[in-house]
Chains A and B, each alone.
Chain A
Amino acid sequence: MKGYRLGELEELILLTVGILDQDAYGVAILEEIKNQTGRKVNISAIHTVLNRLEEKGFLKSYMGGATEERGGRRKRLFTISATGRAAIQEVKTLRNKLYDQIPPLALDFSYGQ
């Protein structure tokens, strides 16, 4: 399958960028992941993943939204590109397809007792 290979963290961050819509940048993504999953991800790891996703063409970015806390520095705001959307879509369908093929018994934990 010629596919969109996404790592676990990549997938997570791609989804979070989608959730945050127009307001996705390093610290916001960090906070969102913390709130949604309880995971503490290092900020530099997020930056690395964001850069990688942008290189792969899943994300687009632009500078904007300077605040006082940032010392007047702008944020790099990310949005999902069409390719990115397709990638999430495909990952999701693949997951669902695989999930659907699991026999019902395998999910019944009382089986075998």
Chain B
Amino acid sequence: MDSKLRHFPPRWPDRFLEFYCNPNRLEQIQGDAYELFYMNLEERGLAFARFRFFIHVLSFFRWGNIRRSKSTYQTYNQGAMLKNYFKIGWRNLIKQKGTTFISVFGLACAVGCCLVAYLFIAQIWFKGMNQPNKDEIFQLTYTAEGENGLETYGVIAEPVSELIPDKLSQVKSHTRISVDFSILIHNNESYNQRSMFVDPAFMDMFVYRMDYGYPGALMEPDQVILTHELSEKLFGTTHPIGQELSLVVNGEEKRYTVGGVLADLNDMDMFNFDLLVNITTHPNATLDLPLKDAWNSELWTFIQVEDGTDISQMKSGLAEMTSIQNTIDPEKPYKSVQLEAFTDLVRNSDQIERGVVGFLAIAPQILLAVIASFILILAVFNYINISVLMASRRLKEIGVRKVIGSRRSQLVFQFLSENLMVCFLAIFLGCLLAGFIFLPGFNEIASKNLKIDLFRDGYIWIFLGAMLLFITLVSGLYPAIYVSSFKPLNILKGNQKIGSKSVFTSVLLTFQFTLAIISIVAGVAFVQTNYINENRDWGYDSSDKIIVNVPSSEDYLPLKNKLSALASVTEVSGSQDFVGDWIREEQLVFNDEKYEISLLNAESNYPEVLDLKLKGGRMFNPELISDMQESVIVNQTFIDQLGLEFPLDEKIELDSMSYSIVGVVEDFHTIFFQSAIDPIVIRASPDTTFNFLTLKMTAGMAESSMESIKKIWHETIPRGLFTGKLQTEVFDREFTDVQGVRNILLFSAILAVILASLGLFGLVSLNMNSHIKDYCIRKVFGANLGDLSLKLLKRYLIIWAIASVLGGAFSVIIISNFLDSFFAFHSGVGVFPIGFGLVILLLVIAATVGSQIWKIVKANPATILKAE
């Protein structure tokens, strides 16, 4: 008897039986199955017995034996049990307000950050996904031979849309879309706005909520629909409907009235526009172009098919379109015309040239995702550490539960349910944090308009649900499994030590410190770089200069004459591009070798007007004809990169004309510090008209003269858009951008430090609570402050040291790469940022430990040791 009881029936079938079997019948069935198992074991051996046991379990799997939730046999009350779990969990949370706050606050911050990152990424990848007809909308694209083999284009010849009703069956509606940067004039102010010219059917295919007016407003050709943003900018709080404005497209001015205003798009729309205009009013639409030219103008074309249409049936129609196009325009044959699903536009954006979706801004997505995951990891680790420690106060509860007959899975479930509660709270708070604090700040920085739209955005619910599940499991599974693994005997005897000093906690803490260090280093290094760049010498004197744009060549001379007449203007110089902006690139030939250089065509006095610093040679001399025709000035980088010595006799060749270098100027920054300084050639161009005028003002007059210059400008060019600015302002936008990034990094660094210190505080104080008698006894026996602090501090100092090495090494690698990708000129990750990070962390540790030591110093050992 005993010998055969050494064997047991196979475990998994047995568990399966327990799992499915109706509890009322389980005892009888399992008993019979066991008995048969031992019978078989005796007669036929172990393998057979096991096999038969398995077969029996399967054969018992009958309707009558399977447990059902509403079985009349069911006497369990799961609901009461769950209620009990939540009640105990809630009481525990309330009882430990401090630690609950640390967990919930940390997780809520993490959820907030993740939400912002998610919204930013979703805004790129889920563009247009809230359109109800998205599955029925397709874009017509064509494939043709391009420079790099076959290429697919998002635009298509305009007349194709006329063929759609004939050639394609089952098309509900179709629209052409053409985006134009046109000048919008309202109340004598001009703005540069993105107008989208569409067919009225556009408003049927794409559904927008309207603030004012109705979607059919575009049926009237002289009405436009504005976005919420533009309407606010133009009209403020006044009622926008019926207001008048005019658009200047291709130099023609046309008057429109506002027929509608869209509700805020929250950056979630596929198209990027400020106002919608009926395409029949586009100046090109009224022109009677020859057939071939009409086919040459290309724009986006979208169709909406009937619900449930098989797209493959349209092949023949699309092929006909291809052949029609190819007979009209045989020089530029289409290979084929296809339909691209609206829902695939973002995903396939890199395969479609000139498509709706341009570039996907991968780098900021990565940055935000990394920051969000840093914060999430910090918060989750805090929670894991604290909840393991917290469980040490509930060891007895766990022991009793186990003795009474709780299975481990039930204990795990209990802890997870408490965890779920914390996470739910955290998600709720995180949404509030994100909605009211993080998002407004981020929108400001990134000039975005993101919003948590719980009512209309289904994806956000999926995201929040996934977050809840993920955080609950990741943060709760380890503590739950660890805590439920103790033997009840050890617990109740009081032998169970819970790991406040466990390796696992130390590893998590090290990891947290490392992340905190990396965040601090990133923030500090970025601040440092910004500081250095803000004070960087631009290579020329930017003060007292104004740049004015010249929209067309006929305005150049009148404008120049009028501006020169101003008293405060000392000198005027024209240039094709201007320093502080992008400068066109040209190919240069020197000694039969080709080089890519930036070429700045300008009037001969331009280098002097700009106060470029001469390093060798001379500036242009307007008196010399040779200077006007065959001389250039170059910068130092040019000399260095070509390996030349100035002065030199060889000539360089540009546009198959040869020039001699008459002067070298010191390097100056034409574009922002994100890019290195390119070799530049300044050519005194004989052209008499330029795109920009640079005005040198009498000292201190630049800012105050801006208004009068703008006025003169508008008098000369009434239909234009004035984009003039001070030379000192040319990098303003870039500075704002990098300051935004700096703010995000600083914010994440501060948050990381706060979270790490909160977690540390929780750990230290819980540790202290459980060892307070230990410390008091030491105190009684005369341990001084130093000894006590050292005892408590030692472990954290070791962790800090390890984290310093890791964090230092990682931040040197990661942050340098990050800075490199951002700036050509940066401070690098030097001793200062790393040292700063380490010191901050050390201070945090010292402060945390100090606060606990202070508790002991103040405590009366007698009261603590007496209490039991």
Interface residues of A (CB under 8 A from B): 25-27, 30, 42-45, 47-48, 51, 63, 66-71, 73-76
Pair A48/B62 contact, Cβ less than 8 Å = yes
> Do B28 and A76 touch across chains, with their CB atoms under 8 A apart?
yes
Known contacts A27-B39, A47-B29, A63-B27; decide if A70 and B59 are in contact (CB<8 Å).
no
B residues near A66, Cβ cutoff 8 Å = 31
B60 at interface, CB cutoff 8 A: yes
Given contact pairs A26-B28, A73-B27, A47 touches B34 in the complex (Cβ within 8 A): no
Q: Given A68-B1, A68-B5, A69-B38, A47 and B60 touching (CB < 8 A)?
A: yes
Is B35's CB within 8 Å of the partner chain A?
yes
Chain A residues near B32 (CB-CB < 8 A): 25-27, 43, 47, 70, 75
Which of chain B's residues have a CB closer than 8 A to the CB of A75?
Answer: 28, 31-32
Decide: A44 and B27 in contact? CB cutoff 8 A.
Answer: no
Q: Is the CB of B56 within 8 A of A70?
A: no
Q: Chain B CB within 10 Å — which of A48, A67, A70 has the most? A: A70
Binary contact track B22-60/A, C-beta < 8 Å → 1, others 0: 000101111111111011000000000000000010011
Please report the C-alpha to C-alpha distance between residue A42 and residue B36 in the assembled complex, in whole angstroms: 11
> Is B782 in the interface zone, CB < 8 Å from A?
no
Residues of the A chain whose Cβ atoms lie less than 8 Å from the Cβ of B25: 47
Report A-chain residues with C-beta under 8 Å of the C-beta of B1.
68
Give, as a whole number of angstroms, the nearest-CB distance from A66 to chain B.
Answer: 8
Set of chain A residues within 8 Å of B60, measured between Cβ atoms = 43-44, 47
Given known A-B contacts A44-B62, A47-B29, A70 and B36 have beta carbons under 8 A apart? no
Interchain CB contact under 8 A, B59 and A43? yes
Interface of A is mostly: mixed
Chain B residue contacts of A63, Cβ below 8 A: 27-28
**Chain A residues with Cβ under 8 A from B39's Cβ?**
27
Query: Within the complex, which residue of B5, B28, B33, B38 is in contact with A74, where a contact is CB–CB below 8 Å?
Result: B28
Kindly list chain A residues whose C-beta atoms are within 8 Å of the C-beta of B28: 25-26, 47, 63, 73-76
B31 contacts A71, CB within 8 Å? Answer: yes
Instruction: Give the 8 A-B residue pairs with the shortest CB-CB distance, closest first.
Output: A73-B31, A70-B31, A44-B59, A26-B32, A76-B28, A69-B38, A27-B35, A44-B60
Number of residues of chain B lying within 8 A (CB) of chain A: 21
List 16 A-B residue pairs with CB atoms under 8 Å apart, sorted by A's residue number.
A30-B36, A43-B32, A44-B60, A44-B65, A47-B25, A47-B32, A48-B64, A67-B35, A68-B5, A69-B35, A71-B30, A71-B31, A73-B27, A74-B31, A75-B32, A76-B27
Give B417-459 as 1s and 0s: 1 = Cβ < 8 Å from A's Cβ atoms.
Answer: 0000000000000000000000000000000000000000000
Question: In the complex, which residue of chain A has the Cβ closest to the Cβ of B27?
Answer: A73
Smallest CB separation, B75 vs chain A (Å):
16
- Do the beta carbons of A27 and B64 come within 8 Å of each other? no
Whole-angstrom CA separation of A75 from B29 in the bound complex: 9
| Cross-chain contact B34 with A69 (CB below 8 angstroms) | yes
Which listed residue, B35, B62, B64, B65, touches A70 by the CB 8 Å rule? B35
- Considering the complex, which residues of chain B in the window 60-109 have a beta carbon less than 8 Å from any beta carbon of chain A? 60, 62, 64-65
Q: How far in angstroms is the closest Cβ of chain A from B173?
A: 64
CA distance A63 to B65 in the complex (A): 17
Q: Mark B573-594, 1 if CB is under 8 A from A, else 0.
A: 0000000000000000000000
Is B36 a contact of A43 with CB atoms below 8 Å?
Answer: yes
Q: What is the CA–CA distance of A24 and B363 in the complex, to the nearest angstrom?
A: 77
Name the residue of chain A whose CB is nearest to the CB of B57.
A44
Closest A residue to B30 using CB positions: A73
Q: Is the CB of B36 within 8 A of A74?
A: no
Nearest B residue to A29 via CB reads B32
Task: Determine if B29 and A74 form an interchain contact, defined as CB atoms under 8 angstroms apart.
Answer: no
Cα distance A69–B39 in the bound complex, in angstroms: 9
Taking CB atoms, residues of chain B closer than 8 Å to A48 are 62, 64
Cα–Cα distance between A30 and B27 once the two chains are bound (Å): 18
Assess whether A42 is in contact with B59, with CB atoms less than 8 Å apart. Answer: yes
Within 8 Å CB of A70, what residues of B? Answer: 30-32, 34-35
List residues of chain B with CB within 8 A of the CB of A45: 59
CB distance from A32 to the nearest CB of B (A): 14
Q: How far is the CA of A16 from the CA of B671 in the complex (A)?
A: 101
Alpha-carbon distance between A28 and B1 when the two chains are bound, in angstroms: 19
Which A residues are CB-close (under 8 A) to B64? 48, 51
CB distance from A40 to the nearest CB of B (A): 12
How far is B35's CA from A76's CA once the two chains are assembled, in angstroms?
13
Interfacial chain B residues near A27, Cβ < 8 Å: 32, 35-36, 39
Q: Once bound together, how far apart are the Cα atoms of A47 and B17, in whole Å?
A: 15
CA A58 to CA B62, docked complex, whole Å: 22
Query: Which chain B residue shows the least CB distance to A31?
Result: B39
**Complex CA–CA separation, A68 to B1 (angstroms):** 9
Nearest-CB distance from B42 to chain A (Å)?
10
Most chain B CB within a 10 A radius of its CB, from A45, A48, A74? A48
Which A residues are CB-close (under 8 A) to B65? 44, 47
**Which residues of A have CB within 8 Å of B29?**
26, 47
Shortest C-beta distance, A103 to chain B (Å), equals 45
- Flag if A43 contacts B56 (CB, 8 Å): yes
